[in-house]
Amino acid sequence: MRVEPSQLAPGCVLLKDVKGKTTKPIIPEKTVLTEEHITVLHKFLVATVDVSATLADGRPFNPEAANEAKRTASTEWIASRSFAKQYQDAVDDYKKLFKNWQHYAMVDIADVRQVLIPLFESIDHVGLAVYTLDQYATSTDYVYHHSVSVGILAAFLAKQLGYEKGEWLQVGLAGALSDCGMARVDETLMTKDKPLNRSELDDIRKHPVYSYRMIEKAAALTQVVKLAVLQHHERLDGSGYPLGLEKDNIHRYSRIIAVCDMYHAMTCERFYQKKQSPFAAIKKLQHDHFTKLDHHIVQVFIDGFVHLSSDASANS
């Protein structure tokens, strides 16, 4: 059958050479196409190709399935545009709450939920944007973007791990509140354009305790959520803070937030640190899961990234 490159899928088998301007074919007949082959066809502006009605693994090839994927991608793009507005509104609202906390206002969980829960509930419709939240962040407003983004990532990851909705929403709230204690830290430390000295770093590392104290009496949060906020910087090898806990002493919610916190922090531009690509951040997570992070949680996080990246590439 003759189809457009946009209708192809990995596993399609070419029936004829795909020829360019030279005598040598771009891709020879009988080639089993991969994502790379399909990308080449797009780049060479090939209009149509002849492929077998059967994929290499014996399954029938349905070009309409690719068209449906394109329509889905278009829908996701529209949802992504809507998500960007929803995300920025949430950051702006979170910033207002944070400014109040800096003046020692109580953390009203009802207000926090109103800002964040609708955003968490939209994560199924935004695709790869879940892993590229750094594109919205600025160094000036990093702390607000980081809190909202860690909440989104934590809710997404908890859902990927199989938690029921009520629970993954709680994990998301814990992620978003994990840095609320930064409101008790000297504001100049959050905007310093040089690496922090030992004393300043010690002050910053008190924020999980401050965060815990700020939500300790909140009846709307479960005790494990409060524990996750306190422990989100603990590491399995005991190198974390504020308590230096190890392995099974660190709650699973905390381990989820730890992965999301590290990933988003590495991918964002800050006053004293250049941003890293998502791929570099993923590589760092892979390295740290041997000693510091939960291996299974890291793997599920990476699998989600790879899956959504592949979908985005296939539908582009």
Model pLDDT for residues 268-303, shown as the tens digit of each residue: 987 777 889 888 999 999 999 889 999 999 999 999
Which is it for the CA torsion 257, 260, 261, 262, positive or negative? positive
Domain boundaries, the chain: 2-61, 74-315
The residue written with tokens 């592949």 in the block is 310
Q: Distance between CA 152 and CA 295 in Å, rounded?
A: 21
Q: Distance between CA 316 and CA 313 in Å, rounded?
A: 5
Written in H, E and C, the secondary structure of 150-186 is HHHHHHHHHHHCCCCHHHHHHHHHHHHHCCHHHHHCC
Q: Distance between CA 208 and CA 302 in Å, rounded?
A: 26
| Alpha helices for 178-294 (secondary structure H) | 187-190, 198-204, 207-215, 223-231, 252-267, 278-288
Contact (Cβ atoms closer than 8 angstroms) between residue 145 and residue 91:
yes
Q: Distance between CA 124 and CA 144 in Å, rounded?
A: 23
Please state, as a whole number, how many other Cβ atoms lie within 10 Å of the Cβ of residue 60. Answer: 8
CATH level 3 topology of 2-61: Molybdopterin biosynthesis moea protein, domain 2 (3.90.105)
Indicate if the pLDDT at residue 93 is higher than 80.
Answer: yes
pLDDT (mean) for 115-132: 87
0.95 exceeded by the pTM?
no
Model pLDDT for residues 182-207, shown as the tens digit of each residue: 999 998 888 777 888 899 899 999 99
Indicate if the pLDDT at residue 75 is higher than 50.
Answer: no
Rg (CA), the chain: 23
pLDDT (mean) for 125-146: 88
- Give SS3 for 311: helix
The partner residues of 25 in beta bridges, in order of sequence, read: 19
What CA–CA distances, in Å, run from 93 to 105, 120, 304?
15, 15, 28
Which CATH number fits the domain 74-315, given the four candidates 1.10.274.100, 3.10.580.20, 3.40.309.10, 1.10.3210.10? Answer: 1.10.3210.10
